[in-house]
Amino acid sequence: MSYRTILANLNIDGPVAPLMDYAINLAARFNSHLVGFAAAVPSAPMAWPEGMVTDGEMAHEREEIELRMKILRREFESHAGTNVSREWRGGVANPTRLIIEMSRVADLIVTGCEDDLTLGHPERFINLGNLVLQAGRPVLVAAKGARRIFTNTALIAWKDTREARRAVVDALPLLCQASEVVVVTVDRGADILTQESIDDVCAFLRRHGVTAQSEIIKDRHEGESLLRFAKHMDAELVVSGAYGHSRVRELVFGGVTRSLLAEDSFSRFLSS
């Protein structure tokens, strides 16, 4: 198993060199075709104390976006060089909606962390939660500032759900390269069925050449316990199903998903 095509999301306003290196390293590792992506759209007209944003100002912002994307494309092509097969996609469009559409070309989407810069600016940055839940592809969120992915130690956040089962299968190419894999369940009411479930996952992985240990943590604080264990084992990658649902004009995430989206000290592999 491998990732034949990787789609790399590059924020139009943020520092992109680390994520470019991260995605290029990953594509070279799996001999993947790499698709660089960026998108933004002019701010919607809105009232300011000085008055309305004018058509001329919006046209100027569109020109600035188009110029920035040309620069990003050149930087991406320069970084990739002849190391990997590559192409560029993007446009003047809502970045979240466009990358969800473009996910049809990829086996895996790579993106950076959300931070104070990206939050609250949907016209220039993707909404990571929407991407994870709507793309129909696994999303690998790079650790903050990471220039390459390390998978020496990987943690699988296991619960017996469709999302977690999907995540384990989607992450197999990375898990096969890890030297230590731990399947962790956080369940205050864990019983024999919990143990059977986690044993089955370890057996499944073993048949794919992945030697995994198991750990059951009896605690009611899933997200906190999982992050604490991940940091204790120095996990470089956490694999998890992503859980969430829509509520009026917002997404509501499960505790583990919310905790993982907010954590940036290790890479996170999320499937829904």
Report the alpha-carbon distance of residue 174 to residue 152 in Å, rounded.
10
Query: Quick check: is 148 in a domain?
Result: no
Within a domain: 90? yes
Clarify whether residues 44 and 129 are in a common domain.
Answer: yes
Q: Is the model's pLDDT at 254 over the cut of 70? A: no
Full-model pTM = 0.91
Pair (67, 102) in one structural domain? yes
pLDDT band at residue 43 under the 50/70/90 scheme: confident
Establish if 193 belongs to a structural domain.
yes
193 and 127 belong to one structural domain: no
Range of the domain at 224: 153-270
Token pair, residue 94, equals: 């809502």
pLDDT tens by residue, 161-197: 999 999 999 999 999 999 999 999 999 999 999 999 9
Q: How many domains does the chain have?
A: 2
6 residue type, one letter = I
In this predicted structure, what is the pLDDT of residue 1? Answer: 76
Last residue of a domain, one of 142, 168, 195: 142
Q: Report yes or no on 147 lying in a domain.
A: no
Residue at a domain's end among 107, 142, 177: 142
Compute the CA torsion angle 156, 158, 160, 163 (nearest 10 deg). -60
159 and 130 both lie in a single domain: no
Q: How many CB atoms are closer than 10 A to CB 99?
A: 27
Which residue, 159, 121, 126, 177, is CA-closest to 271? 159
- Is residue 151 within 8 A of residue 116, CB to CB? The reply is no
The CATH number that applies at residue 84 is 3.40.50.620
